[in-house]
Amino acid sequence: MDMQIVIPTHGRPFKQTTLQSIPAAIRDDVLLVVSTQEDLEILKKSHKNVRRADVKTIADKRHWIMQNVKARKIFMLDDDMYFFGRCPVKHRAYDGRLK
């Protein structure tokens, strides 16, 4: 695999903001990495690509991801991100002045 999108998460099995913001066409390929067996069991019911890292801290989980995910590139995202897009060109305005 060339690139893997990874979302480390803890204690939010019913609130996966970042995962839901990712386009549906690639969402199934995103890897969720959880800390607890409970999160693993809950998330596996709604997402096929979930792994458990038996670690205590986010730093340890990020290290675990770098050591255990077999991809040339890893794109790691927090689990509580929102993505924003630009409005269509016809709705944009720029008057040239600095504010």
C-alpha neighbours within 13 Å on the C-beta side of residue 39: 19
pTM: predicted TM-score of the whole model, two decimal places = 0.83
pLDDT given for residue 46 in this prediction:
95
Tell me how crowded residue 6 is: count the other CB atoms within 10 A of its CB. Answer: 21
In this predicted model, what pLDDT tens digit does every residue of 61-99 receive, in sequence order?
999 999 999 999 999 999 999 888 888 888 887 776 665
What pLDDT score does 92 carry? Answer: 81
Amino acid at 45: K
pLDDT of the residue at 88: 86
Express each pLDDT in 39-67 by its tens digit. 999 999 999 999 999 998 999 999 999 99
Tell me how far apart the alpha carbons of residues 57 and 8 are, in angstroms, rounded to a whole number.
11
